[in-house]
Structure 1
Amino acid sequence: MKTNALKGSFVRGALLGGLLGVFSSSLSAQEKLPVENDLKIISYNIRHGEGLDGKTDYVRIARMFREQQADVVALQEVDSVTGRSHKKDVLREVANEALMYPVFAKAISFDGGSYGVGLLAREHPLSVERIALPGREEARVLLLAEFDDYYIGCTHLSLTPEDQLASLDVIRKIASRLNKPFLLAGDWNALPESQTIQEIRKDFTLLNNLKQATYPANKPEDVIDYIAVWKATGKSVVQKGGTVLPDTVSSDHRPVMAKVRFLQPADRLLYSDPYLQNPTENGITVMFQTRAMAHCWVEYGTDTLNLKRAVALRDGQAICHDIENKIRLSGLEGGKPYYYRVCAREIGDYQSYSKAFGDTVRTSFYHFCLPAPGQKDFTAIVLNDMHVYGKLENILSAKLDSIPHDFVVFNGDCLPEPSDREEAMANINRLARLFHGSSCPLFFVRGNHEIRNAYSAGMPSLFDNPGGNTYGAFNWGDSRFIILDCGEDKPDDHWVYYGLNDFSAFREDQADFLKKELKSREFTQASCRILINHIPLWGNDYDYVPCQKLWGPILQHAPIDLNLSAHTHDFAYYPQGKIGNPFPVYVGGGYNLDEATYGILQKKGEKMTFTVKKLDGKVLLKQVFDLKKKGSIAGLR
């Protein structure tokens, strides 16, 4: 982009770019993707902090939690300001060292203070309950904490089996009213073969490895410490491993650790609707993202009852290691309507010899139609330089809903300056929703602002461009479209690029591509030829015009019918030869509501009409091209 006031000043342009961010209310508040919604739980009877070496050392206990990167810790035998612990708040001492939030539940009064159980968590709990449990040798307690995705309970059960079973009845009643996964952890004073554990296993799934003993710490022989999940609400919880940590000194018990993953709710696994890309060579690409790793496929056909299945494969293997999905539908017949839906099942755990999946999610059906071979007619929408201005996007979306069209071209600076993948995904999917990308193919041309910011080099993976590059060519029926990527609008050695750019070589690559394209059968036999690029090759009054100098001679005699460009934020139309341009050149307006434009490119038979309008409906240009004569036969400006 550029404006007269900002010409030659990158610093001011950067300031403007920063201000533009406030135009889109969705940008700064975008949710972060919970790509791996994992939870690491530790249960540990700390014996009031006294180790088998006779030392009371809260730091070494906390250090272990930090090293293991625990998310939540259930602690038993915790002192609170007792004489034995020198009036220290033991749980808070450990929490401060572990950098976690503490929650304490008193079981009994002891030595001038309290004694009970505690929870440590990376996040502050939403709510906390303390429920008394039976214990004839000493009273017991269940500490229950609620978090966004789960509940966790910590308890130290009685030594008496009768009290253990009575406590289980209380725990069952509490668990039955919870509407989220419920984890239960603690020292339960019962062996795996005991009646207590057998009863617990009727309603809970144990997550720790029962082959690894937990007590005594220096020479463990028995398993009496556990982590479990309530079965009724635990269907979305996938076990990813359980182990006993090899701490032989810090307490008389060893810590138990389990890792689980919470599967995404079915209605949240898919990030958004799919969007269509690269409608070429009797195929089209369905692109979408998930909120977690998933095995995905597309079901499609000319009716919804007889469907084929397409999956993305790499060297014979399903691609399911990332949240980005690019699935090609091939062997399609032009002129026929197709229906498709996206299917996905989250991968909760992916091991060499075992895998765990969530339920299969299926979208509703979408539809599309590729052009028939030799089809002469099309309608395309041309947009540019929207700069994530939400109001402009919404106005254009509403206006274009009333204009039937085959595809949309975003000619640069519509997805500017992505800072990370989340922002890039949010912007792409927002435009795809607004402009019906699930049934209308979208072409995203890279402008100079798409090249800026930390994720700019990563964003192309979210597209499937014709030819696989940010430049290329494609046919729509008997019409040929060429897309060129102009790169940045300043020299590669400009200080602001910090030596990270080499667009000079990139433009040379495109020069080679362009020479081949102009000789190609697809180009020479096309009835209509459109050139698309963000920075104008003609009509750009910058001193730095490398694209014109390099590509201009190649294009000088090319039978291009119309060149679509943008960047300056000032609408302009240059008939062939007006400024030395070998073919007509259109330059789109900017993001300002008073200056914004949209183009409607319509071809019917051997005539093509290009209409440019402002948001208020005023027609700025209506140019009719006689493609048979390769020239304009009527014009109104």
Structure 2
Amino acid sequence: MKRALKYVFQLLLFIGLISSLALPADARGNSHAKGKEIPLKVMSFNIAHGRGQDGVVDLQRTAEVIRTSGADIIGLQEVDKHWSSRSNFVDQAKWLAEDLGMHYVYGANLDLEPTEEGNPRRQYGNAILSKYPILHYENHHLTTVFVPGANNEQRGLLEAVINVKGNHLRFFSTHLGLKDEERLISAEEMIDIIDASQKNSIIVGDMNARANFPEMERLTERFHDVFAEKGMDEAFTFPAPWIDPETGETIKTPSSRIDFILADKNIEIENAEVVTTSVSDHLPIVSTFILKKEKPFYNGQGK
């Protein structure tokens, strides 16, 4: 009798399991089932190591701009890490992430010995902040075209694979160089790096180039230029506005669009805007995308 009851109990459990699997994913407690639309707000912000147009370095002001924007993922450029007294040797990406309660990764493009033995290395580069977990990251150094006497700063493309409610998105932050030839080479290298994966990609950064430059035309053959898609070709981002507090005279007004958000052409763009602020010499830009839940391609190596 006991054995018979045991078999009946096991049968009932089995029937219950099969029935639960037959339910839609949402009914099983997954609020982001396949096909569910997920809004995602991203930002690109060259923070100029926290130095505002008034010459004051204040990361709290930078953090407040990011917080107020409501961005979920932020690509930062010109970020110091124990760099020098100009930013009080602060690890700026870590500081911002802790203040905002976000995950973060950092990619050093300049990496120098400390000024005093025993101190951390002095680094300068790009960062990514994320409300969502970061599964993997890699900093790709881009080719430097060396010219005697010119700015020959190493440039990079920081990549993060981010789990956005089940979508494994590749997000990139970059800051391209000042030389035309170098930026064109960088554009080709960026496309090769991004095309190495099937995952959806969003790229943000200070490109040091206008939309009609050859390097940007090459990139926008492959990706959507979010602001151009929204008819905002004159959404200027540099230099950030500045009004002389003593005279009230407008000294600087934005005149160039050199900060960009690019996205794979199958990602739906909802909106885009430029954020007005004077906490950096660049204006931050934000865009909201609509992602659709899909089976992730992530294999543990970010490829």
8 Å Cα contact 1:175-1:230 kept in structure 2: no
Please report how far the alpha carbon of residue 111 of structure 1 lies from its aligned counterpart in structure 2 after TM superposition.
8.0
2:238 match: 215
8 Å Cα contact 2:73-2:128 kept in structure 1: yes
Does the alignment pair 1:47 with 2:48?
Answer: yes
2:216 match: 197
SS of equivalent to 2:57 = coil
1:63 match: 64
Distance 1:53 1:110 in 2: 28
2:32 match: 33
**Structure with the larger helix share:** 2
Please report how far the alpha carbon of residue 109 of structure 1 lies from its aligned counterpart in structure 2 after TM superposition.
2.6
Please report how far the alpha carbon of residue 210 of structure 1 lies from its aligned counterpart in structure 2 after TM superposition.
2.3
Instruction: List aligned pairs for 1:609-624, cutoff 5 A.
Output: none
Task: Specify which structure has the bigger relative contact order, considering alpha-carbon pairs within 8 angstroms and separated by 6 or more residues.
Answer: 2
8 Å Cα contact 1:207-1:228 kept in structure 2: yes
Does the alignment pair 1:228 with 2:262?
Answer: yes
TM-score between both structures, scaled by the size of structure 1: 0.36
Distance 1:78 1:121 in 2: 16
1:260 match: 289
SS of equivalent to 2:54 = coil
1:186 match: 205
SS of equivalent to 2:96 = helix
1:54–1:172 CA distance, 2 compared to 1 (3 A): same
2:156 match: 141
Tell me which structure has the larger Cα radius of gyration: 1
Q: State the Cα deviation string for residues 95-117 of structure 1 (Å, max 9, x = none).
A: 11211111100001358310000
Give the number of aligned pairs. Answer: 239
Distance 1:71 1:39 in 2: 6
1:101 match: 103
Please report how far the alpha carbon of residue 36 of structure 1 lies from its aligned counterpart in structure 2 after TM superposition.
3.9
Distance 2:214 2:67 in 1: 35
SS of equivalent to 1:147 = strand
Please report how far the alpha carbon of residue 243 of structure 1 lies from its aligned counterpart in structure 2 after TM superposition.
1.1
- What amino acid is the match of 1:230? D
Percentage identity across paired residues of the two chains: 28
Distance 1:111 1:99 in 2: 30
Instruction: List aligned pairs for 1:513-532, cutoff 5 A.
Output: none
SS of equivalent to 2:183 = helix
- Unpaired runs of 5+ in structure 1? 1-23, 267-637
1:635 match: none
Does the alignment pair 1:114 with 2:133?
Answer: no
Please report how far the alpha carbon of residue 263 of structure 1 lies from its aligned counterpart in structure 2 after TM superposition.
2.7
Q: State the Cα deviation string for residues 331-366 of structure 1 (Å, max 9, x = none).
A: xxxxxxxxxxxxxxxxxxxxxxxxxxxxxxxxxxxx
Q: State the Cα deviation string for residues 159-217 of structure 1 (Å, max 9, x = none).
A: 11111111112111111121111111100000111111111111111112322100000
8 Å Cα contact 1:134-1:158 kept in structure 2: no
Distance 1:28 1:238 in 2: 27
Distance 1:118 1:56 in 2: 18
Instruction: List aligned pairs for 1:136-535, cutoff 5 A.
Output: 136=146, 137-148=152-163, 149=167, 150-208=169-227, 209-218=232-241, 219-231=253-265, 235=266, 237-247=267-277, 249-265=278-294
Distance 2:99 2:141 in 1: 29
Please report how far the alpha carbon of residue 264 of structure 1 lies from its aligned counterpart in structure 2 after TM superposition.
4.0
Q: State the Cα deviation string for residues 363-387 of structure 1 (Å, max 9, x = none).
A: xxxxxxxxxxxxxxxxxxxxxxxxx
Task: State the superposition RMSD in angstroms.
Answer: 2.2
